[in-house]
Amino acid sequence: MKMLKKLLAVVLTGAMALTLLTACGGNAVNDKNIADALNDMAKGSFATYTFKPRTDEQAMAKAIAALSESDRNTKDGKLPKKVMEILKLDKGGANEESRFVWWGPAYADEIGTAGQAYNVMDKILRKDAVNADKLGDKEPGDIRYIGTALGTMTFPGGEQKTVRFIVVTAEAVDKK
């Protein structure tokens, strides 16, 4: 556990250093930039997976960003019906039992590519996939497809901030 914390500290330090070399505005960042930064972080943690931008995931992220905040959130902590449909996790959906799916917003205002990628890794990918319980003894494949879209969210105090909605998928494969 200590080694993991040290490794995470090194990766975070590198990510913060990279933000000095990237564009500051959240609008200047695209899916490929985020995927490249995530790949750099994954290499630093000795992960075997690779992130690749893909239009299917980008379309899902754009559709989620277009939803109202009330359609994206529930008070009971469950995935909202409209989000389930967009992610194709609804009953009989294409991703329900064949792909691992992660999604969520990452803060995007003025933190550049590496900062946004770190937020994705820390706030979205660190958690289990939203449908992990349905995939039994499977594990995510080595290629993680990513799509992003900018949107806004209301934060405590009523402040509107720009966020990047992220959708990541990976094929469900048999454990090695």
Please provide the average confidence, as pLDDT, over all residues in the chain: 82
State mean pLDDT over 32-56: 88
Place of tokens 């290629």: 143
Task: Summarize pLDDT for 66-91 with one digit per residue, the tens.
Answer: 998 888 887 777 888 899 999 999 88
Q: Is the pLDDT assigned to residue 53 strictly greater than 90?
A: yes
Q: Is the pLDDT assigned to residue 25 strictly greater than 60?
A: no
Phi-psi region of 155 (alpha: psi -120 to 50; beta: other; left: phi over 0): beta
Strands 99-107 and 138-155: unpaired
The full set of domain ranges for the chain reads: 2-174
State mean pLDDT over 163-175: 92
State mean pLDDT over 144-166: 89
Res 100: pLDDT: 94
Res 166: pLDDT: 92
- DSSP tag of 23: -
How many angstroms separate the Cα of 60 from the Cα of each of 67, 140, 157, 166? 11, 19, 29, 9
Res 118: pLDDT: 86
Would you say the pTM of this structure is higher than 0.85? no
